[in-house]
Structure 1
Amino acid sequence: MANYLGIEAKWDLPQLLAIVSVSTALYYLSQWVFSSSGNLEALLKSQPVIGLGKQWYAWPLATLKSFSKSKQWVFDGYTKYSKLDSPFIIPCLDRGPVVIVPPKQLKKVYNQPLSVLDVYVTQNQTIQTKYTISEQDIVKNSFQISVIRHQMTRNLEHLTPLIATELKVGFEEWWGTDQVGWRDLRIWDTSLKLIAGAANGAFCGPPLCRNAAFLDSLRDHAMTMFVGAMAINATPSFIRPVAGKIVGWACERKFQKTLKLCLPVIVERLENTARKKKDPDFSWEPPKDGLQWIIDESYATNDPAQLQPVRVTHRLLYVNDISLHSTSYTVQNLILDLYTCENSAELVKCLREEAAAVLKEAGGSWTRDAVQKLKLVDGTIRESMRMTPFASVGLPRTVIGPHGIDLESPSGKVHVPQGTVLAAAMDPIHRDNAIYPDADKFNPFRFTQPGGVRSIFDQFNAAGQKPDDANKPKPKSTVTLDDAFLGFGFGKHACPGRFFALNEMKIFVAHMVLNYDVECLDRRPELTNVIWLKVPYNDGRVRVRKRIPVELE
């Protein structure tokens, strides 16, 4: 067979069939990469591509390599091109070629109108809502997001004590009350249960927020959704419907488990709400929580179908899906950062002193105003989010304007055509020593003093001069949108729940340092980089012990 083809190599038929099969697969992968990337030919020829080799099938091979190489590539490109205010491109297994926007141009690009730069469809593609959510109306008519953005934020004064109560209950349940012995914990699992319980204290209240089976079902559904969505995105388009059906089936099974647990509560709430609307004298007061606001918004549509219990359950679950894992991810990393950093004992002492002083001033109960005074706690959360963002490449947007958009480069305009995906180099920006002095060191105090962080424009100014003391940037809260800190997104469409999430995390940290001693049982584990995402370290362990209450010391 080899001689017949004019090839001198000693290949037998099975080997040749294998080569043909691989070549065919690479060809179709190549077709998929470019069929989903819009009219990119001119852009790909004119701009640098990181990770692209010179061998046959260079693009599909680089696309496959992006599964584990994306972080390395974006750091390389940031050093070589972003520092010069020039865009670059990386192959990406789930999105095809992605253009990385130079940091200095983030503000201009990410404030483009939705008619030019899409965020919502892109986000839905990230979690593949077409397949992972069986009730498509909650995607098309997503007023549950408005509940997070508006009602949850406006009512933090009311929600803060509820969150604090559920965190206290959760810590006692999962971390224990023993002031003598130590308890070993898997940090990811307990962090998620604590955050899920506290968040659902505000989302739906007891009894669900204290139901361990319900909290586990939330975890399982979200994990199935996000891992499944990543698998769908990494599947060539011609077989994506098959992968989507399989993932969709798995997500629906997890949803049905959650539905069985919470449907009685939701039916009762809907019945009470309907009765209250019909009879204002009915002796029941609607709770001020996320579930009730979702029901109120459902009434406001004047569409009876929105009040179907299953649909309301879908909305409640979706709110959990998009919030719990990101917050739990941050909390897990914060614990590891705090208790493995160089000056851990000193930092914990400072946090404990701040939390004790603020809590005493507030009369022993957490309020919204008290939480806002936790400046060092805020800085500690921000520093952990800086050092361990959820992604090395993040904030994807898709160019949908028919005329595309133009980026800048030292050599002139760079035209980015319709259909192209843009993203930001989150990890490299957060680790840039020119923005964050001694960037690889965990130092929350950098966020509590003027000049602890330099802005993007200071870092990239032509003269390279540092600002004088009078012009040093003032300290910022973690929720403040900043092109040098992308933990909660950037531009017009940043995280809608960032105020709620930060409030919850600050209470978490304050309660933890006041009430528990913590020791990490392993060195700070490295997260696994999968395409652009940083996967939580599931086996990280700590041991904890209840402290003597502050007032008794």
Structure 2
Amino acid sequence: MVFLELLCALSWPRLLGCAVLLIVAGFVVDYVMLPRLPTDMPCMGYSRGLWGHVKSNVLYFFHQKEWIDDGYFRYGKEGKPFLVPAGFSRPPDVVLPRSLLPWLQEQPEDMIDAHAAHNEIIYGDYNFLDPSLVRDTFGGRAVQRWLNRSLPGLLPAIEDEARYAVEKKLGHVGTEWVEVKLWDLWLAIVPPVTNRILVGPGICRDRFYLEAVVAFTHSVLRNCVLLRFFPAVFHPVIGRLLCWTNLHHWRRAHQRLLPVIEARLEGIQGKARGDDRFRDWQPPEDLVTWLIRLALEEGRSEELQPVVISKRLLPLEFASIDTTVLTSQLWMLDLLSSPPDVIDAITDELRAHRPKDGSHWSKEALLSLVRLDSSVRESQRLSNFHTTLIERVVMSPTGLRIPGSNWILPKGVHLTVNLQGSHHDPDIYKDADAYDAFRFALIRQGRKEGACGVRLPLGMVSMNDHHFPFGHGRFICPGRFFVAHELRLLGCYLLLNYEFRTVGERPRKRWIGSGMVPHFGLRVKLRRRQVA
């Protein structure tokens, strides 16, 4: 009662002042608890001490890309790591040179952990509603086990969904030029195609389900931004409050998905028991089926609850929707900023290799699209939407020693690798800051790939120490082959059936912190081709 009277007596300015003081005090507590790094490590933009820490992390939002660029040429090319700010409540990141990538991949999981690093960065304990599910790798194991082996047989279904999604969005477009928002176009066509692999036929076209999962992914992104402005000591409270919207969107999606999960459980378990009703029935190949299979194989009955299966899908929805949409938008923007004959050359290639009898694209035909593949890989190189990649966090209580130095990184420090510098290094790429759609196609042709009968590792999903948009080593993205085929099939249908007007000069890239901000409102002109 006394507490309520005290609150009533305080004016709004005083309450606001108390809140600000509380947040400042929280950040001070966070700073005191941060692990301390060696004082003689090179730094870019990072200053030590409380005031230096605050100033560095304010400037982080405006200068992080510049620091990563400069650090690559000053230290990274000399084989040295350097420190950059990573947020008010985090120690600075250790940005490794690409020469240390092999060493990084050799470290055991009790020394450094990729899963824990990613979970911390995206605030998975709050955003994905159940910390016990997020910290377990069960869902990732199901993807690794079945996705790639099932992919060749799923290509016709993926192509059908690509055709359906594009026509649903652009069905009104005729032979006259029409303006569309490029971001909205890809945001409309990627989710149904992606969800054909995640939840299966039928439900992947359900408008209410798709709206809910897209809203969920955007809610996760919003919370990741907002939580950076609150002290970590308050995250257990603030995180749960902010993520109420995540819970709301998941409940909407779960309501639509529940009948699908229940029917799948009944069918798979009935078939396993020898029930005659399911003797000739085959479950769709999608993540729902794979999660159930893995749970039955491992005897994990708790994983067979519909609520658990539904929540297992959430991290995969988040990982596969907006990243694919952004990759696709940037690729098309790079393409439309090129001379018109670039798109013409790609379209000619598509016409030359597409199935002659009107059947579906085969895996072999898609892999023969060297120009299309090169244009996407080159966009991944030039228009990377993050400055660093391959996140790891030190897990060893005794720390981790960087080879060739006396620097020991304490537990809780994040290591990452300079993506921005490697992708724009003029010693690796000629005209490194220019988009050359056929850069990798010309390399493959120059080495006479076809004559030697060997496909060179320069395709969209081939990673190395200077090109790793899908990651590198043991923790490389397990869904990269699906994403590559998804982009190929969507690109094929769009370019064969629609004509796009080039945009001339490419809009300037915008960065906040370590991430690129999409051009949400950018419009392009297109029209339906009279003869595909």
TM band (smaller chain)? 0.7 to 0.9
Contact 2:85–2:91 (Cα < 8 Å) also in 1: yes
Give secondary structure in 2 for the equivalent of 1:396.
strand
Query: Does 2:497 correspond to 1:515?
Result: yes
Listed one character per residue, the Cα deviations across residues 321-362 of structure 1 (whole Å, up to 9, x for unaligned) are: 211111111011111110112x2x111112112212221368
Give secondary structure in 1 for the equivalent of 2:392.
strand
> Residue 530 of structure 1 aligns to which amino acid in structure 2?
I
Listed one character per residue, the Cα deviations across residues 11-50 of structure 1 (whole Å, up to 9, x for unaligned) are: xxxxxxx9999899667535423523x232xx1x201221
Which of residues 454, 461, 471 is equivalent to 1:479?
A: 461
> Residue 358 of structure 1 aligns to which amino acid in structure 2?
H
Give secondary structure in 2 for the equivalent of 1:150.
helix
Structure 1 distance, partners of 2:470, 2:141, is 17
Query: Does 2:511 correspond to 1:525?
Result: no
* Matched ranges for 1:125-274 at <5 A: 125-176=120-171, 178-274=173-269
Percent identity between the two aligned chains: 26
Give secondary structure in 2 for the equivalent of 1:434.
coil
Displacement of 1:273 in angstroms is 2.8
Displacement of 1:433 in angstroms is 1.1
* Matched ranges for 1:429-448 at <5 A: 429-448=422-441
Aligned residue number for residue 107 of structure 1: 102
Listed one character per residue, the Cα deviations across residues 251-272 of structure 1 (whole Å, up to 9, x for unaligned) are: 1111111112222222222233
Query: Does 2:488 correspond to 1:503?
Result: no
Structure 1 distance, partners of 2:298, 2:499, is 49
> Residue 530 of structure 2 aligns to which amino acid in structure 1?
I
Aligned residue number for residue 59 of structure 1: 53
The range that moved more, 205-214 or 157-166, is 205-214
Aligned residue number for residue 75 of structure 1: 69
When residues 245 and 21 of structure 1 are mapped into structure 2, their CA distance, relative to the original with a 3 A threshold, is closer
Displacement of 1:534 in angstroms is 1.8
Contact 1:63–1:96 (Cα < 8 Å) also in 2: no
Give secondary structure in 1 for the equivalent of 2:180.
strand
Structure 2 distance, partners of 1:366, 1:254, is 35
> Residue 470 of structure 2 aligns to which amino acid in structure 1?
F
Give secondary structure in 2 for the equivalent of 1:261.
helix
Give secondary structure in 1 for the equivalent of 2:145.
helix
Structure 1 distance, partners of 2:105, 2:90, is 19
Displacement of 1:437 in angstroms is 1.0
How many residue pairs align between the two structures?
508
Structure 2 distance, partners of 1:114, 1:531, is 28
Query: Does 2:19 correspond to 1:35?
Result: no
Contact 1:29–1:60 (Cα < 8 Å) also in 2: no
Displacement of 1:439 in angstroms is 1.0
Contact 1:127–1:230 (Cα < 8 Å) also in 2: no
* Matched ranges for 1:8-47 at <5 A: 29-33=27-31, 35-36=33-34, 38-40=35-37, 43=38, 45-47=39-41
Query: Does 2:50 correspond to 1:50?
Result: no
> Residue 29 of structure 1 aligns to which amino acid in structure 2?
F
Contact 1:515–1:546 (Cα < 8 Å) also in 2: yes
Gaps of 5+ in 2: 1-15, 447-454
Which of residues 416, 421, 427 is equivalent to 2:414?
A: 421
Displacement of 1:438 in angstroms is 0.3
When residues 142 and 416 of structure 1 are mapped into structure 2, their CA distance, relative to the original with a 3 A threshold, is closer
When residues 419 and 315 of structure 1 are mapped into structure 2, their CA distance, relative to the original with a 3 A threshold, is closer
Structure 1 distance, partners of 2:346, 2:385, is 24
> Residue 322 of structure 1 aligns to which amino acid in structure 2?
A
Query: Does 2:332 correspond to 1:335?
Result: yes
Give secondary structure in 1 for the equivalent of 2:407.
strand
Structure 2 distance, partners of 1:76, 1:307, is 50
Structure 2 distance, partners of 1:285, 1:23, is 61
> Residue 356 of structure 1 aligns to which amino acid in structure 2?
R
- TM-score, reference length from structure 1: 0.85
Query: Does 2:273 correspond to 1:291?
Result: no
Aligned residue number for residue 369 of structure 1: 364
Give secondary structure in 1 for the equivalent of 2:276.
coil
Structure 2 distance, partners of 1:400, 1:451, is 41
Aligned residue number for residue 461 of structure 1: none
> Residue 189 of structure 1 aligns to which amino acid in structure 2?
D
When residues 264 and 90 of structure 1 are mapped into structure 2, their CA distance, relative to the original with a 3 A threshold, is same
Displacement of 1:403 in angstroms is 3.7
Displacement of 1:234 in angstroms is 4.4
Structure 2 distance, partners of 1:499, 1:313, is 24
> Residue 62 of structure 1 aligns to which amino acid in structure 2?
S
Give secondary structure in 1 for the equivalent of 2:519.
coil
Structure 2 distance, partners of 1:55, 1:480, is 42
Structure 1 distance, partners of 2:167, 2:466, is 38
Gaps of 5+ in 1: 1-17, 454-472
Give secondary structure in 2 for the equivalent of 1:436.
coil
Aligned residue number for residue 84 of structure 1: 78
Give secondary structure in 1 for the equivalent of 2:270.
helix
Structure 2 distance, partners of 1:320, 1:437, is 37
When residues 404 and 141 of structure 1 are mapped into structure 2, their CA distance, relative to the original with a 3 A threshold, is closer
When residues 451 and 418 of structure 1 are mapped into structure 2, their CA distance, relative to the original with a 3 A threshold, is farther
Contact 2:470–2:477 (Cα < 8 Å) also in 1: yes
Contact 2:119–2:135 (Cα < 8 Å) also in 1: no
Structure 1 distance, partners of 2:327, 2:335, is 12
The range that moved more, 488-497 or 257-266, is 257-266
Contact 1:26–1:61 (Cα < 8 Å) also in 2: no
Aligned residue number for residue 350 of structure 2: 355
Listed one character per residue, the Cα deviations across residues 166-187 of structure 1 (whole Å, up to 9, x for unaligned) are: 0001111112264422332222
The range that moved more, 331-340 or 18-27, is 18-27
Displacement of 1:381 in angstroms is 1.1
Contact 1:30–1:57 (Cα < 8 Å) also in 2: no
Structure 1 distance, partners of 2:198, 2:20, is 50
Displacement of 1:451 in angstroms is 8.4
Displacement of 1:494 in angstroms is 1.2
Contact 1:177–1:545 (Cα < 8 Å) also in 2: no
Contact 2:85–2:92 (Cα < 8 Å) also in 1: yes
Contact 1:448–1:475 (Cα < 8 Å) also in 2: no
When residues 22 and 319 of structure 1 are mapped into structure 2, their CA distance, relative to the original with a 3 A threshold, is closer
Contact 1:98–1:423 (Cα < 8 Å) also in 2: yes
Give secondary structure in 1 for the equivalent of 2:213.
helix
Structure 1 distance, partners of 2:421, 2:25, is 33
Query: Does 2:377 correspond to 1:382?
Result: yes
